[in-house]
Structure formats: structure tokens, C-alpha cells
């Protein structure tokens, strides 16, 4: 092959390698993305009260108490599981209980490792309907 023949071939190879590298980065970025879900907390409910995420998703709940201070406690083990079993929701903290000051966004992050239904509730007594202030996170396979 002479110089004029292999130069366009070499250029095509270099361009293809660059495109592969770029597309590889976008796949990584998509896998590293965070699913954000906004939730409001007010006497005596969370909206939405049912949240669906996919197994393996990294989730950021952006929770805002709109009427007074509330709290959020998430059970990291799915309904019906052994309380000594490995948690299906992985939090960066040992006990996933969070204060929700009025009108402040509280970010709550976790990874959904196992399919199942996970309960959450208000952890700051807010009145007569407090016990009914609940929700659930459903991790789909």
C-alpha cells in the first residue's frame, strides 16, 4: 500500500475508535444517572404515596414538607422479609430516618438492589392522622 492509499484508511480507523470511545462514555453516563422523584409531605399524606423504580436504579427522593416539619423513615427491607436479611434498599446511612423541615428540600438517596415493596412513613408526630401518613416504594424487576 502506498501513502495515498493507507492515509484515508488510517483516518477512518482513528475516527471509528473516537466514536466508539464517545459512545462508551454515554453508556457509562446513562448507567451512572440518578432517577429523581419529587415528593411532598403534608398532614397526613405523602404525594405520591406509591413510587415505582427499577431494580438496580440509583434513586434520589427530593422530599419537601409543605405545611410543618415532618420526618421520613424508610424500611430498607421488603414487606414479608426476615428482619435479619440483607436490606433490599441500600442507603449511605445506617438508619434511613430523615428530618423534613418545613419548606426545605431534603434529598434522600438509595440504590434499589432487590425487587419488592418497601414501606415508608412519617417519623415526626404531626397530629391525629399521623399513623396513616405512609407510602411505599415498589422495586420492579
Task: Say whether both 20 and 58 belong to one domain.
Answer: no
pLDDT tens profile 39-60: 999 999 999 999 999 999 999 9
β-pair partners for 66? none
CA distance linking residue 34 with residue 38, whole number of Å? 13
Output the pLDDT for position 2: 54
Same domain, 111 and 66: yes
Helix (H, G, I), strand (E, B) or coil at 48: coil
| Residue 139 pLDDT exceeds 60 | yes
103 in the same domain as 77: yes
At residue 57, what are phi and psi to the nearest 5 degrees?
-70, 140
Q: How confident is the model at residue 32 (pLDDT cuts 50, 70, 90)?
A: low
| Total structural domains within the chain | 2
Prior bond to 48 cis, omega within 30? yes
- Residue with more model confidence, 86 or 15: 86
Mean pLDDT of all residues in the chain?
85
Instruction: Assess whether 79 and 29 both reside in one domain.
Output: no
Bridge partners for 121 per DSSP: 73, 134
Quick one: pLDDT at residue 83?
A: 83
CB 61 within 8 A of CB 107: yes
The whole domain housing 27 covers 1-33
Residues 95 and 106 in one domain: yes
How buried is 74 (Cβ within 10 angstroms: 0-12 exposed, 13-18 middle, 19+ buried)?
Answer: buried
Report the phi/psi class of residue 116: left, alpha or beta, with left for phi > 0 and alpha for psi in -120 to 50.
Answer: left
pLDDT surpasses 90 at 30:
no
42 plus 64 within the same structural domain: yes
* pTM for the structure as a whole: 0.76
126, 102: one domain = yes
Q: Distance between CA atoms of 35 and 57, rounded to whole angstroms?
A: 7
17 with 62, same domain: the answer is no
pLDDT 10s digits, 68-104:
999 999 999 999 998 888 999 999 998 999 999 999 9
Three-state DSSP at 129 gives coil
Rounded mean pLDDT of 15-25?
41
Amino acid at each position: 500500500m502506498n501513502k495515498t492509499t493507507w492515509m484515508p484508511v488510517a483516518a477512518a480507523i482513528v475516527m471509528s475508535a473516537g466514536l466508539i470511545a464517545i459512545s462508551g462514555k454515554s453508556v457509562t453516563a446513562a448507567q451512572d444517572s440518578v432517577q429523581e422523584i419529587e415528593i411532598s409531605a403534608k398532614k397526613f399524606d405523602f404525594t405520591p404515596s406509591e413510587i415505582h423504580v427499577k431494580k438496580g436504579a440509583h434513586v434520589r427522593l427530593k422530599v419537601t414538607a409543605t405545611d410543618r416539619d415532618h420526618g421520613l423513615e424508610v424500611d430498607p427491607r421488603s414487606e414479608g422479609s426476615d428482619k435479619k436479611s440483607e436490606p433490599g434498599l441500600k442507603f449511605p446511612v445506617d438508619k434511613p430516618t430523615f428530618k423534613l423541615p418545613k419548606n426545605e428540600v431534603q434529598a434522600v438517596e438509595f440504590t434499589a438492589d432487590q425487587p419488592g415493596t418497601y414501606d415508608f412513613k412519617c417519623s415526626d408526630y404531626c397530629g391525629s392522622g399521623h399513623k396513616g401518613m405512609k407510602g411505599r416504594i415498589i422495586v420492579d424487576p
